[in-house]
Structure 1
Amino acid sequence: MTRRQELLLGVLGAVLAFGACEAVSRAGLVRRSYLPPASDVLARAAQLAGDRAFLDGVGATLRAWALGLGLACAIAVPLGLLLGAVPLLDAALRAIVEFLRPLPSVALIPLVSLLLGSGTTAEVTLIAYASLWPVLFNTVYGLAETDPLAKDTLRTFGFGRLAVLLRVELPGTAPFIAAGVRISAAVALILAVASEILSGFGQGLGIFIAQAETATDGTRDVLAGVVWAGTLGLVINGVLVGAERRLFRWAHETPPARRQPGPERQEART
């Protein structure tokens, strides 16, 4: 399936979902206070694009997202390379990593807020913790999948451990790291909005959603905020996918299928 076909199918799916929500609300199957028409929600979302205070909140959310994701990558990539290169260290820390990884980041919000307050520092810390794991495990996995023949060849020619890491292991692991960053970007955005919603005060897209939830007839604003959050996630993922395909085009190329011998070739062999 080509990228153009994927785009057309995605647009078709969005149009069908929009039509279904619009029809359900207009037909009165669900009260409009619970599910406003999709056209009203999109109109409100478009209206928010001209609201300076709202855009400042979105900017605050994106800043926390970028800081948390950047901090996670700065920790996860070197740590993943270290764990992948030193099996003894990986075995020693495996139990700790497996204990910390399943902990839901949202459940840590009260503890982090108690230790760091409810400002940007706490939000960035939660984002970094949640988005660290996909990058870390992808780095370890990518390092293990590096071509051993290429590494042995460099060692045969007298290259040291650092040269092997920079010339073979890091380039071979880079596509896996990029995939981990793309996954972590979505996780980071979820934590950025969720932590703001649960904190209930400050500035950000999650704050707008939380305040709209408590307002009279605020369902439309809540859904408009959700539309903005989903759109941000879609744009971020699209940018990262495009960058990943451009930078690591060779990693996405499908090797040509091995040609099966035809009847005339099988006869020639016999």
Structure 2
Amino acid sequence: MRSHVNRYLIVIDDIWNIPSWDIIRCALIESSCGSKVITTSRIFEVAKRSGEVCKLEPVSNDDSKKLFCARLFGRKDTCSFDLPNEQSTEYILQKCGGVPLAIITIATLLASKPRDDWPKVYNSIGFGHEDNVDVSNTRQILLFSYYDLPCHLKTCLLYLRIFPEDREIEKDTLVWRWVAEGFVHEEPGRTLFKVGERYFHELVNRSMIQPVEKRGTYTICACRVHEMVLDMICSMANEESFVTILCSDEQHLSSHSNARILAV
């Protein structure tokens, strides 16, 4: 009589350090039944420790251009190689380093501006010279996009600092929180909720938050925040003394903290 053998496929996303992987590995059963564990990490040494490494390659030049055009013009096949400011566009795509988030963010930024202003955008974004140039340049593009936001959208975006990483944030709940905090300004003939809902969609359109659609429909019911955008939000929220996070192992709040919002 053959014994029943269970197989599993487990995906563990974004492991930050080797000790964390060592703890996780203790819970996994080693057998020859064909089970698989897939891990992802931004750190090569962590990936190497977990087994065979498959390095994620950046998007190719052609695909970068297609993605850029798809976000800029709505359709990738609308974009010929006769782009406005062709030389500057090639330069900016090269600096994006094949990182989809950087390409989408810069294309979104350019789409909101007259084409005559595009060179000013190129010239205003400073790029670093660190070894990890793709990540550095993506951060610069995200920061420039943040500073380009109107004040009320900056405030609403920084408020997302209170949510944990990878959290799916319900749209209606978030908008009502903005209203309760006083971030939403009154407009004639519109309820505060409707105004706040427009803020939400503006942040989606600017690629600062990622929409989550209700299953089976095209209705946006929630959002997520890309981890690099969240890193930028955390940095700016601290710099602006906007949010202080009180962790569970902290006994009291520092008397030097003057943040507007305390999140536990």
Greater share of residues in strand: 2
| Larger relative contact order (Cα-Cα within 8 Å, sequence gap ≥ 6) | 1
Greater share of residues in helix: 1
TM-score clears 0.5: no
Please, what TM-score do these two structures have when normalized by structure 1?
0.26
Please, what TM-score do these two structures have when normalized by structure 2?
0.27
Larger Rg: 1
